[in-house]
Amino acid sequence: MALLHVIKYGHPTLRMVAAPYEREEVEEEFINDMLETMYTEDGVGLAAPQVNVSKRLIVCSDRENEYVIFNPKIIATSENTQSDMEGCLSLPGLHANVGRYDKVIVVGKDAEWRDIEVKASGLMAVVFQHEIDHLNGTLYIDRADLATLAWTDAAVVDPALREQPTTIEMVQQIYRQKYHPNSHALVFEKNFT
């Protein structure tokens, strides 16, 4: 198994619509690497585009259950929504409040390419919505209340920024320097509908 590099906001792959998986493309090693990367990075979910693979695969875990879902699709949602702070491994050191459906039903294929249907509520419902968004080039900041956008208490980017409110423009400026110093082809915005 190997740890995969998680790409950061600004990398063009995060803004692409990922391609569906075909059964013969499934590689157990890649699934295991995705899971290992998610656990090592202390994430509750990871989408393949975050490791620069623009394909429709997500892995999620609530420490009791582990989900590996190819071509995941939300087929039903609750009417009720919840709002909570969300973060993302591709946007280190940041969080913001995001409104999400309370409950979702997700269908797709599991690691053995069997049809699965997962009913999720609470945190896992949020995680599924967040990860499936990644497959469509959508990031949580697109849905967030940007008045709540702030650096976290973990000093991932710069200790001086801890718990300070911020703006998308400031995030882009800081990420450009920290994560993409030599890249000239950054894509921060979603340029499609």
Question: Which residues carry out catalysis?
Answer: 131
Cα gap 85→78, rounded to integer Å: 19
Of residues 113 and 171, the one with the C-beta less far from Zn ion: 171
Binding-residue pattern over the window 84 to 103 for Zn ion, x denoting contact by CB under 5 A: ----x---------------
Sheet holding 57-61, edge to edge: 45-47, 57-61, 66-77, 103-109, 115-121
Chain centroid, CA 112 distance in Å: 23
Closest residue to bound Zn ion by CB: 88
Of residues 36 and 41, the one with the C-beta less far from Zn ion: 41
User: Binding-site residue total for Zn ion (CB under 5 A)?
Assistant: 1
Q: Segment 7-26, which members bind Zn ion (CB under 5 A)? A: none
Indicate the burial class of 181 (C-beta count within 10 angstroms; 0-12, 13-18, 19 or more): exposed
Smallest gap, in angstroms, from Cβ of residue 96 to Zn ion?
12
Smallest gap, in angstroms, from Cβ of residue 135 to Zn ion?
11
Smallest gap, in angstroms, from Cβ of residue 139 to Zn ion?
7
Record the tokens describing residue 71, joined without a space.
């071509």
Of residues 8 and 23, the one with the C-beta less far from Zn ion: 8
127 within 8 A of 44, measured Cβ to Cβ: yes
Record the tokens describing residue 106, joined without a space.
């997700």
Smallest gap, in angstroms, from Cβ of residue 47 to Zn ion?
7
Of residues 86 and 166, the one with the C-beta less far from Zn ion: 86
Cα gap 100→166, rounded to integer Å: 22
Residues that bind Zn ion (CB under 5 A): 88
